Amino acid sequence: MALLPMAVLSLENPENNAPLLWPREPYSCVFYDEMITGPLADWSNAVSHHEDRLSDWAVTKLEHRKNFHFSAVQHEFLKCTVNQISSPSQEPKHIFIERMADKDEVTVGWKWIQHPRLAKWWIQRLMRGYFSDTTRGGVSVLASSSALARWKAIGYSGSDFLCHLDFTQQMLPLSKLRRVLVDSSNSVPKYSVTDSNCFWFAFTVYETLKKEYPCSELRGGYYKHRGKFAGLSILPFNLFSTHTVRHYFLTSTYTNIVTLGYKGYRTGQEGY
């Protein structure tokens, strides 16, 4: 597993001569032999470039997930289940989408791996080094790209299900997903801890697709923790940054305050 070596894997887009910083194979936008991560913009360009070859692939499920156990900020992200329409019996593939501090990212090629033993409390996980200490399973700031990728895979594997949208009755085209991701990213392109963070990005994409495309929704037992930050502060959102987010907060009983002693939970298996 490795972070995508973007400079090595670039190719030319014949339409505008812009480099496509993603592996050359069309289906690398959906699956890969190893786990690779790259900027959303480059994945989007590759999907657009290979649109005809990828027309047989569609999203059947979009999950909103939370990393209670291996992220100090209880990072939230989206997990897409993608199926080949002409081969419904084929094993589904998974695409992960998330906002990071420096860019929005897409990851493909993930496979579930065994994660370190889970702990109930945030402070226990901190003391065990689950957020930083490589000797206890964590990852240091100056770790190699392979170490970072492995820790990302652990975070995905040990994450918890919050809610999902089901598109099995009318599959969501990959091109539609790409458009919503790009539009959401471009609407507020710069990361902000107190505004356009990982919570905001996952929420915005999820709610936009829920509103714009036929689907059904299932909410899990941890749904009440959606958008909550692990720490002593208030939920880091600008509540009025988008119409969708503003409408949600003004019409719900969403709770913003969380405590340092927030009790984590055993990871759910739904959606793996």
The predicted model scores a pTM of: 0.79
Return the closest-CA partner of residue 262 out of 233, 220, 241: 233
C-alpha 185/C-alpha 22 separation (Å) is 18
181 phi-psi bin (left φ>0, alpha ψ -120 to 50, beta other): alpha
User: Helix 174-187 and helix 198-212: axis angle, to 10°?
Assistant: 130
Whether 20 and 39 have beta carbons less than 8 Å apart is answered as no
Picking from 161, 165, 167, the residue whose alpha carbon sits closest to that of residue 60 is 167
Closest of 236, 248, 246 to residue 210, by C-alpha: 248
CB 101 within 8 A of CB 192: no
SS3 state at 208 = helix
Residue-by-residue pLDDT tens, the chain, 272 positions:
444 443 333 444 444 444 457 998 999 999 999 999 999 999 999 999 999 999 999 999 999 999 999 888 889 999 999 999 999 889 999 999 999 999 999 999 999 999 888 888 878 888 887 876 555 556 665 566 777 888 899 999 999 999 999 998 899 999 999 999 999 999 999 999 888 999 999 999 999 999 999 999 999 999 999 998 754 333 444 443 444 444 443 343 333 322 223 333 334 434 33
pLDDT of residue 132: 66
pLDDT of residue 43: 97
Q: How far apart, in Å, are the Cα atoms of 69 and each of 45, 96, 115, 156, 225?
A: 33, 18, 10, 10, 13
Residue 144, pLDDT score:
66
Kindly report the backbone phi and psi dihedral angles of residue 137, in degrees, each rounded to the nearest multiple of 5, phi listed first: 105, -5
